[in-house]
Amino acid sequence: MQTQGQLIEAKQQFAERGLHSLVDAVKQGDRQAYQTLYQQYLGQVYALCYRLTADRALAEDVTQEVFIQLWRKLDNYRGDSKFSTWLHSVTSNVCVSYMRKQRGWWHRMFNLEDSAAMYESAEASAAEVDLDSYVRRLPQRARMVFVLHAIEGYRHEEIAQMLDMAVGSSKAQFHRAKQLLSEWMGYE
């Protein structure tokens, strides 16, 4: 008699086999399979893009860009890691690159921070712990580091490389993000 754990594992293996078939079909150029893959992972990709950009319209554009690039990049997926892990890595890189092209220059030149967003919604959200809404209020660099480290599990060394900053800066931005979150969540 199978235990519940074995049943879950069998279910996961079945799902993983289905996913591999889907990925293989996409690699063969099956557009219908790609649309199925898109529908399956749209929510995850968009969630990551939205958390990184804090802007719905921009996140939608980046999500489209991810799936446009994924059509070609899928050949690079060898099945060594979980597909969702690989997809999150592709999404993070495309998103950071897209944001750099969109606004990076202004931020580098003038060191702009999204300070308006930090203060606009401070009163409204103090009563509840909606982490996503707090994360969206973080300044851009602090937000990106927080999302990549705390939510996506990247190491600071990896984040520093992705965001073209020193490892110490990544750690400092993470510390800053936590300080702001602590303040907004009523701990300071």
Instruction: List the x/- string, 118-157, binding to other proteins by CB under 8 A.
Output: -----------x-xx-----------------xx------
Instruction: List the x/- string, 90-109, binding to other proteins by CB under 8 A.
Output: -----------xx--xx--x
Within 10 Å of residue 98's Cβ, how many Cβ atoms? Answer: 20
Task: Annotate 51-108 with DSSP letters as a single string.
Answer: HHH--HHHHHHHHHHHHHHHHHHGGG--SSS-HHHHHHHHHHHHHHHHHIIIIIHHHH
CB of 156 to other proteins, least distance (A): 17
Q: Are 49 and 62 in contact (CB under 8 A)?
A: yes
Structure tokens at 58: 């921009």
CB of 1 to other proteins, least distance (A): 32
Interface pick for other proteins out of 2, 32, 57, 116 (rule CB under 8 A): 57
Residues 14-53 that bind other proteins (CB under 8 A): 31, 34-35, 38, 42-44, 46-47, 50
CB of 44 to other proteins, least distance (A): 5
CA distance 183 to 30: 50
CA distances (Å), origin 102, targets 50, 66, 114, 165: 15, 15, 15, 18
Interface pick for other proteins out of 20, 27, 56, 155 (rule CB under 8 A): 56
Within 10 Å of residue 46's Cβ, how many Cβ atoms? Answer: 18
For binding to other proteins (CB under 8 A), which residues are involved?
A: 31, 34-35, 38, 42-44, 46-47, 50, 56-57, 59-61, 63-65, 67-69, 71-73, 101-102, 105-106, 109, 129, 131-132, 150-151, 178, 181-182, 185-187
